[in-house]
Amino acid sequence: MQICNFCAACAILVVAAGPGAAETLKGQALAMGEGTVRTFVEVTAAGAPRAIGVILSQGALAGLPPLKNATSRCFDLDGNGRLDGARECEGDKEFRLALPVAAAEGGDIPVRWVAVNWNAEGHPPAAWSVPHFDFHFYLAEPNEIALIRVGACTFFINCDDRKIALKPVPAKYVAPDHVNVDATVSLMGNHLIDARAPELADPRKHGFTHTWIYGAYDGRITFLEPMITLGFLLSRPDVCTPIRQPAAWARAGYYPTRYCIRYARDDGSTTVSLEGLVARTAD
């Protein structure tokens, strides 16, 4: 699996607009494309989280690998001792990012870390078979996700771990219209996709630009995922989309009600963020 180094002790940069203004805490930057990628957390003057996201610097979307790799989520299906990259690997390139230390230690943010996955050739279903990024905001710790082994079952997941990934999430924790389609992936988990997503509900009429997915493993929600095409990120967007909410959350904390994708004209960066954070109690 091709993974950039995960930094457990990230640097913190603080940007403030003045007394009483929100502050932006930034994680350590990693090289990506011809630029960098890093996490950020925006907090209010009172210290409550207001946004959690990823900053793609100018250049980060250029010079990306044009094809799937032969190192990520691979399994020797035919047992011949060799890996056929096109047939035996998921082939995504993953960037693993820690939250800024102060934000991670605060305890109010259920997101523990972030993985940005570049899919040069997309992935199934057909509507999503275009170059795009998966932005995984994990609610589970890195060591938990690392236990989801590669193997011979769907999307190169260990068949025993696939059974765990398919364990139903209690209905109150599942957002409306998000369904299990056995999209179980090694070193990730299951993906509960939005059955009402325009590009899935009517692919002839709607093209894929961005969509929302909930992740699950062992009967619980384990990640929040905006999935966005390279083309849309390059279009200099400024959009926010509501997130359909479950009736309850298993863990208390601040959860997003919308995700936003914004191009910044001042420095050419693009942010992908979870916003409209609302404090929820555990149920």
Among residues of the chain, what percentage have pLDDT more than 90? 83
Q: Which long-range contacts (CB under 8 A, 24 or more apart) does 123-126 make?
A: 123/90, 123/92, 125/200, 126/203
Model pLDDT, residue 271 = 98
Closest CA to 40 of 65, 19, 15: 15
- Helix ranges restricted to H, 93-224: 101-105, 142-145, 159-165, 198-201
The alpha-carbon radius of gyration of the chain (Å, integer) is 18
Of 56, 205, 223, 212, nearest in space to 139 by CA: 223
- The confidence band for 202, taking pLDDT boundaries of 50, 70 and 90, is confident
Residue pair 92/117 in contact (Cβ under 8 Å)? The answer is: yes
Q: If you write DSSP's letter for every residue of 208-261 in order, what string do you get?
A: -SEEEEEEEETTEEEEEEEEEEHHHHTT--EEEEE-PPPS-BSS-EEE-SEEEE
**Residue 203: per-residue pLDDT:** 80
More confident residue, 275 or 15: 275
179: Cβ–Cβ under 8 A, 6 or more apart, which residues? 192, 193, 195
Per DSSP, 278 falls in state: E
Q: What number is the average pLDDT over the span 116-134?
A: 95
3-state secondary structure of 125: coil
Spatial separation of the C-alpha atoms in residues 184 and 178, rounded to whole Å: 15
Q: What are phi and psi of 142, to 5 degrees?
A: -55, -40
More reliable by pLDDT, 20 or 62: 62
Q: How confident is the model at residue 252 (pLDDT cuts 50, 70, 90)?
A: very high
Average pLDDT, the chain: 91
What is the per-residue pLDDT across 21-37, written as a single tens digit (0 to 9) for each? 679 999 999 999 999 99
Q: Is the pLDDT of residue 17 over 50?
A: no
Chain segment 62-119, per-residue pLDDT in tens: 999 999 999 999 999 999 999 987 789 999 999 999 999 877 676 689 999 999 999 9
Burial 136-158 (b: 16+ CB within 10 A, else e): bbbbbeeeebeebebbebbbbbb
Nearest to 210 by CA among 245, 165, 262: 262
Is the confidence at residue 248, as pLDDT, over 50? yes
| Spatial distance between the Cα atoms of 142 and 7, rounded to a whole number of angstroms | 11
User: What value does the mean pLDDT take over residues 225-234?
Assistant: 98
pLDDT for 272: 98
Q: What is the pLDDT of residue 160?
A: 98
Would you call 138 helix, strand, or coil by DSSP?
strand
Q: Taking a C-beta distance cutoff of 8 angstroms, is the pair 260, 55 a contact?
A: no
Count of other CB atoms within 10 angstroms of residue 65: 15
221 residue type, one letter: I
pTM of the model: 0.92
pLDDT at 2: 39
In the numeric block, the tokens 């993974």 are attached to 3
Reported as a single tens digit per residue, the pLDDT across 170-182 is 999 999 999 999 9
CA nearest to 20, candidates 42, 45, 43? 45
How would residue 227 be classed by pLDDT, with cut points 50, 70 and 90? very high
